[in-house]
Amino acid sequence: MSNELEFIRGVDKLHAFYTENVRMLAHAYDLSDEQAARVLENFDFRNVARSILRPPRVDVLDERPNGLI
């Protein structure tokens, strides 16, 4: 069971990292989180559209998922 739990924790961190990168990309294009979520929803990126509207869960400058960079 511990392997599965560690796997879920890793996926959770990776998803949070990915979400923050999408949020930063939206801001680079001068889109608010709400505008970016609408665009993403229109192109069927529903999970990330919902995720970027939630408060950040990681600091992408300080915490990186295991195995990345």
User: For position 69, what pLDDT does the model report?
Assistant: 45
Torsion of CA 65, 55, 8, 42, to 10 degrees: -100
Residue 21 above 70 pLDDT? yes
CA pair distance 24, 5, nearest whole angstrom? 29
CB contact at 8 A, 58 and 13: yes
- DSSP, residue by residue, 41-60: HHTT-HHHHHHTTSPP-S-T
* Number of other residues whose CB lies within 10 A of the CB of residue 8: 10
User: For position 4, what pLDDT does the model report?
Assistant: 93
Question: In this predicted model, what pLDDT tens digit does every residue of 22-68 receive, in sequence order?
Answer: 999 999 999 999 999 999 999 999 999 999 999 876 665 555 555 45
Enter the pTM of the model: 0.72
